[in-house]
């Protein structure tokens, strides 16, 4: 499904996974079309790629200058966010050179804005996918957020919480997704080399750490 898209935009699987918060262990099946992404992730991909396409015609200089002014950031800040050399970005801003298609997608992923509800649902969907992969139950998720299981169920169907909870919980969800995505990769490797009972002990330890928001180590 996504193979032609990645080829056109000069993206590899790792970059595609990182840009759109797709779990690493799912990325190959997503690219091939065996795994279907949720609505929020598909909407995000569409919006970013449409913005990248627009910049192939209109250029990136104006968009980057606008982003700088709106977010009060430097070229160095932007460089760190999209992992592209600052001098290269400065040449784009001055109109001395143009980004390739891979770089256009990275810029687009930075400058595109999303409705807070849409942003929260996207990351929460990934959070729940990670929880299922790690064997974390709905009851535990509810305890982490301080809500009932029925509230968690309603969030999984696309009903986002109130604005206050969105602001409060979004940073935690993003951080948890990165951690759990890395852990799921480790567990996949462990399944190939370790006994099942050892793996289950490791997953139980991770579940306790997530529940009580403890460092995992």
Predicted local confidence at residue 92, as pLDDT: 96
- 67 and 127 fall within a common domain: no
Chain segment 117-167, per-residue pLDDT in tens: 988 988 898 899 888 888 888 999 999 889 999 999 999 988 999 999 999
State the average pLDDT over residues 183-198: 64
In a domain, 216, yes or no: no
Q: Which of 76, 91, 111 is the last residue of a domain?
A: 111
- 126 and 180 fall within a common domain: yes
Position 2 pLDDT exceeds 80: yes
What total number of domains does the chain contain?
2
In a domain, 9, yes or no: yes
- Domain residues for the domain of 45 are 3-111
- 25 and 124 fall within a common domain: no
- 31 and 76 fall within a common domain: yes
Chain segment 160-183, per-residue pLDDT in tens: 999 999 999 999 998 888 888 777
Q: Which of 111, 135, 165 is the last residue of a domain?
A: 111
pTM over cut 0.95: no
User: Do the Cβ atoms of 183 and 205 come closer than 8 Å?
Assistant: no
Q: Which of 65, 96, 111 is the last residue of a domain?
A: 111
Predicted local confidence at residue 217, as pLDDT: 47
- 142 and 194 fall within a common domain: yes
In a domain, 217, yes or no: no
- 107 and 121 fall within a common domain: no
Average pLDDT, the chain: 86
Pairwise CA distance, residues 78 & 70, whole Å = 13
In this structure, what DSSP letter does residue 33 have?
T
State the average pLDDT over residues 198-209: 58
Pairwise CA distance, residues 69 & 78, whole Å = 12
Structure tokens at 59: 């250029």
- 62 and 17 fall within a common domain: yes
Position 75 pLDDT exceeds 80: yes
Chain segment 88-119, per-residue pLDDT in tens: 999 999 999 999 999 999 999 999 988 899 88
Count Cβ atoms within 10 A of the Cβ of residue 202 and give its class: 0-12 exposed, 13-18 middle, 19 or more buried.
middle
State the average pLDDT over residues 23-44: 88
């Amino acid at each position: 499904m996504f193979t032609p898209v990645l080829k056109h935009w000069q993206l590899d699987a790792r970059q595609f996974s990182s840009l759109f918060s797709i779990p690493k262990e799912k990325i190959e099946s997503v690219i091939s079309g065996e795994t279907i992404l949720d609505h929020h992730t598909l909407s995000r991909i569409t919006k970013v790629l449409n913005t990248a396409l627009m910049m192939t015609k209109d250029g990136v200089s104006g968009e980057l200058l606008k982003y700088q002014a709106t977010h009060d950031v430097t070229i160095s800040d932007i460089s760190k966010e999209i992992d592209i050399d600052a001098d290269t970005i400065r040449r784009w801003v001055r109109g001395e050179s143009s980004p390739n298609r891979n770089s256009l997608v990275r810029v687009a992923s930075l400058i595109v804005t999303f409705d807070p509800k849409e942003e929260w649902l996207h990351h929460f969907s990934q959070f729940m996918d990670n929880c299922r992969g790690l064997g974390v139950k709905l009851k535990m998720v509810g305890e982490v957020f301080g809500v009932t299981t029925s509230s968690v169920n309603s969030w999984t169907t696309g009903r986002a919480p109130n604005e206050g909870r969105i602001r409060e919980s979004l940073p935690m969800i993003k951080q948890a997704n990165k951690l759990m995505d890395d852990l799921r990769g480790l567990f996949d490797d462990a399944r190939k080399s370790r006994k099942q009972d050892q793996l289950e002990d490791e997953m139980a330890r991770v579940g306790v750490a997530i529940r009580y928001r403890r460092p995992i180590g």
